[in-house]
Amino acid sequence: MRWFDERLHHAWLNHGYTQRFEITRVVYQKKTEFQDLIIFDNPAFGRVLALDGIIQTTERDEFAYHEMLAHVPLFAHGNVKTVLIVGGGDGGVLREVLRHDIDKATLVEIDRAVIDICREHMPHLSGGAFEDGRVHVVIADGVAFVAESGDTFDVVIVDSTDPIGSGAALFTAEFYGNCKARLAPGGVLVTQNGVPFFQPDEVVETYRRLAPLFADATFYVTAVPTYIGGLMTLGWATDDASLRTLSEAVIARRVAKAGIETRYYAPPVHLGAFALPPFITALMAGDGHTRPGP
């Protein structure tokens, strides 16, 4: 029997703990120009994508991540026409974004192989999104794109790998500043920000970098079983603080009008996701332990 052991890139975690998946079949394995890519089948989670040894998404629980990354900013904004996705080559976030009445979604992915291989071996993830006429795919480093593009977007979604390798540059103050420059007035930036129990420094560092740039910077949470360790944080940054004070009735009206059915996202979940446990707010305040526990 073959197993896949995931060890997150965090020093204290590499002692006596791992997340383990049985591999019933290796569907595809390749060292791309940027990373080690594997797609395998697992009895519990279906088809699984990992990059550089880190789980990116699985067939069974991807909805809990992709729905929250897409629908929270789009329904909070309420009139999104243009979206920029940085990373996200598996197409899951793009699929959810396209369920809204938008004009254009631009996806900037550094590694073309992720798009091609996921389209072939995990087609349900993008669900035909890459064939949608509203989609503009750019194969480039997202860091250079946000620095050089003159375009603006109503929502910017950073669906990145963890802050190592090519993903590290997607967590810097300079990158966040350039994302802000890409936002249209009233725009929202959301980011993949790790699991704070295991990766607390991602909350500490991201908040320290976002807070000076935006009138409203915080995190919201989702729970994705294979992003193991409890709640995962998603970064939220905008200059329009009113987007976080909408009533449930307003959000529910927008969801009903859009006619989008979801499995994780819902108006009360949207509002509740911004309620943060004290161990996360302590990290934001700079007085949290970077190694949780006693």
Among 56, 82, 222, 226, binds ligand SAM (CB under 6 A): 56
- Shortest distance, position 86 Cβ to ligand SAM, whole Å: 5
With binding defined as CB under 6 A, does residue 90 bind ligand SAM? Answer: yes
**Given 61, 159, 239, 287, which residue is catalytic?**
159
Among 58, 82, 126, 166, binds ligand SAM (CB under 6 A): 166
With binding defined as CB under 6 A, does residue 58 bind ligand SAM? Answer: no
Q: Which two tokens stand for residue 56?
A: 């990116």
Residue 111 annotated as catalytic: no
Residue 216 has, within 13 A of its CA and on its CB side, a CA count of: 16
Provide the residue type at 11 as one letter.
A
Distance CA 105, CA 204 (A): 30
Provide the residue type at 145 as one letter.
F
Identify which of residues 207 and 227 has a Cβ nearer to ligand SAM in the complex: 227
**Residue 29: partners with Cβ closer than 8 Å, 6 or more residues away:** 37, 38, 39
Among 42, 161, 191, 199, binds ligand SAM (CB under 6 A): 161
Site for ligand SAM in 62-81 (CB under 6 A): 65
Q: Which two tokens stand for residue 126?
A: 């993008």
Identify which of residues 237 and 271 has a Cβ nearer to ligand SAM in the complex: 237
**Residue 201: partners with Cβ closer than 8 Å, 6 or more residues away:** 10, 290
Identify which of residues 144 and 241 has a Cβ nearer to ligand SAM in the complex: 144
Distance CA 282, CA 279 (A): 5
With binding defined as CB under 6 A, does residue 192 bind ligand SAM? Answer: yes
Distance CA 156, CA 227 (A): 22
Among 89, 196, 229, 267, binds ligand SAM (CB under 6 A): 89
With binding defined as CB under 6 A, does residue 159 bind ligand SAM? Answer: yes
Q: Which two tokens stand for residue 73?
A: 């900013």
Q: Contact positions toward ligand SAM, by CB under 6 A?
A: 34, 56-57, 65, 86-90, 108-111, 114, 141-143, 159-161, 166-167, 169-170, 192
